[in-house]
Structure 1
Amino acid sequence: MSFDAIILGAGPAGSTAAIVLARRGFQVALVEKAEFPRRKVCGEFVSATSLAVIDRLGLGSTWRSLAGPEVRRVALFSGERVVTARMPAAHGAGFGRALGRDVLDDLLVQEASRAGATLFQPFRATGVRPSGDESAVTIASRDEEATLSAPVVIAAHGSWEPGGLPSQLQKTNAPSDLLGFKAHFSGARLEPDLMPLLVFPGGYGGMVWADRGRLSLSLCIRRDALAALRKEAGGGSASDAVHRHLLASCRGVRAAIGEAQLQGQWLAAGPIRPGMRARYRDDVFRIGNVAGESHPVIAEGISMAMQSAWHLAEELEAIDPARRAERDAAGRRYSRRWRAQFGARILAASAIAGLALRPAGARLMGGAIEALPALLTLGARLSGKTKTIAEMSNERVGVGRMRLS
């Protein structure tokens, strides 16, 4: 089966790219291994900087009707410290909100199908190889296997799952690895406009109100710290150890979820792979976490995924995708745009996480923020909460060419 573009992964990055390209006349294949709706380890917060993208995808009103309350304040919950400060507003966009990935991903993939993308779900991509001027992608489900071909291949499968694709990362297993956990709670006690940063021995995390009265709590913890917690408890599950550790470590967490009810089970994934990677290599474009990711401490993962997809789609619509030289040039331009948009926040996130993960650094950070709460506001600004993707024209996706200034 022949297409203009094959996108591997239908999360926020992959589905955003599929919607934009399909509306631009590309014949798009969207390949996703999981069945939706699905829960996924993710902070679930979407910065106001991405609201213009959501609006241009035609999902703005639906997203606003479902998402949790606007986040107008940030906080630090660390030990006995509970410090709050204002969240800086994004220019012309206001404040971000959170929506569960089980809801958001389903909305996006349905919109991709309506836009004309051909959805292969649940299918896993098992191989990518050159085939003349195009690439051949082998996909497989439980019952069948198929080969798709296209000049454009876009990896949007995230960075956590290893595999045999050229865009997948090698599996690691080091004591310093950061493992991700996520849970939803009902009946929590957290002010609706507040998104706290949680700092505890061995890790960091965050909480935010999402859809349907659910509090979304996500965190990262070092592999060696988690192993020590489980050993101290004499065994038991990793999620039980993490839950107990949070309650014991942070007064703010105890107040928020100490009497709350866990909805479903804790999810786990990882290790987290912060850093900047190749955005185009071996004739494969990369968007979302596989292109690069910040430490989740700044809650920018979904925004970076959707914005990277938008940047790439703009470059691809300006070329003849059948020409390798033009794809290479588009890959270089996209790489520069990606770094300009996200490089500073990745470095800022690394610095913040480095402090949070070291006992002395966490104490220093906590003391400084307690003395000067405005540092929380500054941290949110440095992490990209006010850096909009660009001013867009009044045209909707699919009508004329949109340019990002």
Structure 2
Amino acid sequence: MRYDAVIIGGGPSGASAAIALASQGRAVAIVERSAFPRNKVCGEFISPVNLALLDRLGVGERVRALAGPEIRRLALFAAGPSIEARMPRSQTDAFGRALGRDVLDLLLLEAAAAAGATLLQPWQATAAVRDGDDMAVSIERSGERRTLLAPVLIVAHGSWEAGGLSSQPRRPHLPSDFLGFKAHFRGSALPSDLMPLLAFPGGYGGMVWADQGRMSLSCCIRRDRLDAVRAAQRGLPAGEAVFRHITAACPSVAEVLRDTTLDGGWLAAGPIRPGIRDCYAHDIFSVGNVAGESHPIIAEGISMALQSGWLLASELAGVAEWSRAGRELAGQRYAAAWHKQFPLRILTASVLAGLATRPLTAGLMHRFVSVFPASLFVGARLSGKVTPVPGIG
């Protein structure tokens, strides 16, 4: 089967690219290994500038109808008293909101199908090799095998997913790796318009009200600290051990979660791979955190995923012929647009993560924010919360 573009991964980055390309009249196939709806480790916050982009992708109205309340305030929950600041507004005066990944991803994938994309789900891409002027993508499902051909191959499978593709290299486990955890709670006393940053020994996290009365708590913790936490709390599952570690270190977290019930179990994933990688290399375009990943401390993962897929589709639309030379030109333009849009938030996230997870600097960070609460506002702006999306009015 031949297409104009094959996209590996049906999350926000892959779906946004698929919707935009299919809307341009391109024949697009999405290869997604998981059945939807499915949950994922993710902070679930959607910055306000993405609402106009979601409108262009055809799901804005549904997202507004289903998402949690507007987030108008920020906070720091650490060892001392909580500290609050206002959330910056976007140019349209909108505020960000949160939506569970089980809901958001399904909305976007359905929109991709409605736009004309072919969904191959659940199928797993196992190899991708050059075949003349096309890429040949091998996919498998329950012993069945197919080969898809397309001049444009887009990897959107995320940096945590293991596999046999060149974009999924094996990496050694390191004590300094950050592992991610997430759970939903019901009955929290967290104010509906507040999104706190959590800072605790060896890690950081966040909480936000999402959809269906669910409050989402997500966090990252260093592997060596996780080992120590689990050793001190023998017999507890990893997620529960991390949760107790957080509530012991952050009294404000314990307070707002005192009378809650867990909605489902704890999810775990990782390690995360913060940093900037190639947007286009070896005839493969990368979107989402395959292209580059920030520490989740700034809650911009969904934003970067949606926007990178849109940026790539926009640059491909500007190249009339997807020949080898055309793809190289689109790759150069996409890389330039990507590096204009995202590096500052990746740097901001790296600095904040470093401050929040080290005992000495975490204390200094808390004291500084307590004296200058507006630093939370500044950090939100630097993290891209209100940075306009190119090509979106």
TM-score, reference length from structure 1: 0.95
Partner Cα distance (1:306, 1:243) in 2: 29
Displacement of 1:6? 0.1
> Which residue of structure 2 aligns with residue 120 of structure 1?
120
Backbone CA RMSD of aligned residues: 1.0
Q: How does 1:129-144 map to 2 (within 5 A)?
A: 129-144=129-144
**Structure 2 unmatched ranges of 5 or more:** none
Is 1:311 matched with 2:302? no
Tell me by how many angstroms 1:93 deviates.
4.8
Residue 190 of structure 2 is matched in structure 1 by 190
- Asked if structure 1 preserves the Cα contact closer than 8 Å seen for 2:53 and 2:392, the reply is no
Structure 1 position 322, deviation (Å): 3.3
User: Is 1:211 matched up with 2:184?
Assistant: no
- The aligned residue for residue 373 of structure 1 is 373
The answer for the alignment partner of 1:54 in structure 2 is 54
Q: 1:55: Cα distance to partner?
A: 0.7
1:229 equivalent in structure 2 = 229
Alpha-carbon distance, 1:81 to partner = 2.3
Cα distance in 1 between the residues matched to 2:180 and 2:169:
17
Whether the 8 Å CA contact 1:183–1:265 is kept in 2: the answer is yes
- Counterpart of 1:330 in structure 2 is 330
- Does structure 2 retain, via aligned residues, the 8 Å contact 1:152–1:321? no
Corresponding position of 1:35: 35
Number of aligned positions between the proteins: 393
> Counterparts in 2 of 1:4-403, with a 5 A limit?
4-390=4-390, 392=392
SS in 1 for 2:147: strand
1:151, 1:321 within 8 Å by CA — same for their partners in 2? no
Secondary structure in 2 aligned to 1:48?
Answer: coil
Q: In the TM superposition, what whole-angstrom CA distance separates every residue of 1:122-172 from its partner, at most 9, and x where no partner exists?
A: 000000000001100000011411000000000000001222211123333
Residue by residue, what CA displacement relative to the aligned partner does 1:238-290 show, whole Å, maximum 9, x if unpaired?
Answer: 11211111111111111111210000000000001111000100010000010
- Cα separation, 2, equivalents of 1:346 and 1:322: 31
Do the aligned residues in 2 keep the contact of 1:5 with 1:150 (CA within 8 Å)? yes
User: In the alignment, is the contact (CA less than 8 A) between 2:319 and 2:329 conserved in 1?
Assistant: no
- The 3 A distance-change label for structure 1 pair 321 and 167 is farther
Amino acid at match of 1:335: A
Q: How far apart, in 2, do the equivalents of 1:78 and 1:295 lie? A: 18
**Residue 178 of structure 1 aligns to which amino acid in structure 2?**
F
Counterparts in 2 of 1:262 and 1:373: CA distance versus 1, 3 Å: same
- Matches of 1:243 and 1:37 in 2, distance apart? 25
Say whether the 8 Å CA contact 1:73–1:87 is kept in structure 2. Answer: yes
Superposed CA deviations along residues 90-133 of structure 1, whole A, max 9, x for unmatched, are 11252100000000000000111111000000000000000001
1:2 is matched with 2
Deviations 1:284-331 (CA, angstroms, capped at 9, x unpaired): 000001000110000000000000011100011121343101100110
Q: Deviations over 1:60-114 (max 9, x none)?
A: 1111000000111000000132000000111125210000000000000011111
Partners of 2:280 and 2:321 in 1: how far apart?
A: 14
Q: For 2:182 and 2:93, how far apart are their aligned partners in 1? A: 28
Change (3 A) 1:391 1:128: closer
Per-residue CA deviations over 1:166-223 (Å, capped at 9, x if unaligned) read 1123333001100000000000110010000000011000000000110011000000
Shift of 1:236: 2.5
Alpha-carbon distance in 1 for matches of 2:358, 2:280 = 34
8 Å Cα contact 1:48-1:385 kept in structure 2: yes
**Structure 1 counterpart of 2:295, one-letter code:** H
Question: What is the rounded CA distance, in whole Å, between the counterparts of 1:83 and 1:333 in structure 2?
Answer: 42
Deviations 1:13-46 (A, max 9, x none): 0011111101101000000000000010000000
Quick check: 1:49–1:93 contact (8 Å CA) kept in 2?
no
Q: Distance in 1 between matches of 2:103 and 2:288?
A: 18
Contact 2:41/2:218 (<8 A) preserved: yes
One-letter code of the match for 1:164? G
In 2, distance between residues paired with 1:193 and 1:152? 42
* Structure 1 range deviating more: 97-106 or 85-94: 85-94
Q: Among the aligned pairs, what percent are the same residue?
A: 56
Separation in structure 2 between the aligned mates of residue 155 and residue 46 of structure 1, nearest angstrom:
22
Q: For residues 80 and 315 of structure 1, what CA distance do their matches in structure 2 show?
A: 47
Distance 2:2 2:275 in 1: 34
**1:402 alignment counterpart:** none
In structure 2, C-alpha distance between the alignment counterparts of 1:146 and 1:320, rounded to whole Å? 29
TM normalised by structure 2 equals 0.98
Tell me the secondary structure at the aligned position of residue 204 of structure 1.
Answer: strand
- The 3-state SS of whatever aligns with 2:82 is strand
Contact kept, 8 Å, 1:134 with 1:322, in 2: the verdict is no
Unaligned 5+ segments in structure 1 are 394-405
Asked whether the equivalents of residues 311 and 390 of structure 2 are also in contact (C-alpha less than 8 Å), the reply is: no
Instruction: Report Cα offsets for 1:353-382 as digits up to 9, x if no partner.
Output: 110111111001000001110011011011
* Contact 1:125 1:140 survives alignment (8 Å): yes
User: CA 1:285/1:391 → structure 2, altered by over 3 Å: closer, same or farther?
Assistant: closer
